Structure 1
Amino acid sequence: MKYKRILLKLSGESLMGDKQYGIDSDRVLQYARDIKAVFDKGIEIAIVIGGGNIFRGLSAEKSGMDRVQADYMGMLATVINSMALQDALEKLSVKTRLMTAIKMEQICEPFIRRRAVRHLEKRRIVIFGAGTGNPYFTTDTCASLRAIEVQADVVLKGTRVDGIYTADPEKFPEAVKYDEITFQEVYDRGLNVMDMTAFTLCQENKLPIIVFDMNKPGNFMRIANGDTIGTLVRG
């Protein structure tokens, strides 16, 4: 397999499936099966999930809510999603640990970097919830930060689009997909891959990012095998 340790970033919206909001249990189970297949190959996997299917802090701020309050509510939404994926994985007999940046002792462990690394080494999938624990930071930033902290080989950003395009392919059918692109080219062309804090963290730490379509079963395994799918962002 190409990678030893992977950080998988999933958006909260991806868990909705065909629903308008909330969690689609069929979609979560599909993700769990794909993750287990890669995990069974011996790859260590850490996961960060967004919370946009339940609550979006930025949207709430626009309607008048205090931004800090809204961001903390968004962090709690990520924990709900993390628990849903944890449950699906454990139903497939995969050992997991949920670690959060906000203490919730009854349902998860507090994030401690050395403990997280030890869990990965002991063949447990680690799910990081509650973002960084700080307002004004996205779950993309959390994914980049945790990947660096646990020394992951790559950040895999699973989306509903099969890579990075010159424009939004859902709005502009003529948009062209990049197979590979540098961090600097993403800056120069103003492409929306991750928020700038997350993206800069990866660039400064020479951590590659692959954007791919997680909704297609088997894609996660193909990337783990080293197949060229999605878009690779490198230094």
Structure 2
Amino acid sequence: MKVIVLGSSGSVGAPGNPASGYLIQPSNGQSLLMDIGPGVLAKMQEYQNPNDAHMLFSHLHPDHCLDFPSLLVWRRYHPTAPAQHRNICMGPHHTPIHLGRLSADIPDEVDDMSDTFDFHPWRIRHPHPIGDFTVTAYPTIHPIESYAMRVTAPNGRIIAYSGDSAYSTELIDCARNADIFLCEANWGKSCDNKAPNMHMCGQDAGIIATKANAKHLILVHIPPWGDPIGAMEGARQHYDGPISLSYSGMEIPL
């Protein structure tokens, strides 16, 4: 089993790094795809059939969801291998309407995804069985309805993903004893002059990882104009465990 970073650029895609998309591949069975920002579907094709994954949304800002209409095209209209069954889709309550408008043919129409996805809204701190995994969503601080995710794998390993958030104690619970903590560090080294309730810096990520006793901190969602080295330095000030900078194609075995 492994986690594959398909894309981890923050806010927009970067050269060689799509926006947010994280693939959890089990040894057997269907994968989980956490977010599907611009460029993620193309990268996913390097690793597996895009039909063979359940879809999980942290939130519906464009850099986390804009490849979803293209995924519907793949699932419905692939000439030789369309999807053979429905997969689960989890996300904010208004996901079917928001994304249905993106994939509809007529303005203000809503494309019904229920032919190919079985949608369920997140229930906060409720364990959702999805295939062989269990996924629990935690609320985050962001301008729209947003969630972090805690994924428990069949082998007992735990993957935590912050989604987009300002510092929150909810993230500590989400990442508690996680084997991998994918945590945003959009703001670089420190949070000086940071917009309120918007994203985190490396120092925030390090503090949360330490309080949660996470085993491996992986910094994500750093924009092309960001400061990845500073984000790592900030995290290191507060966290003594292994820290990695994410990149497209990064594989983390579990």
Say yes or no: TM over 0.5: no
More helix by share: 1
Using the size of structure 2 for normalisation, the TM-score is: 0.36
More strand by share: 2
Q: Which has the higher contact order (CA 8 A, sep 6+)?
A: 1
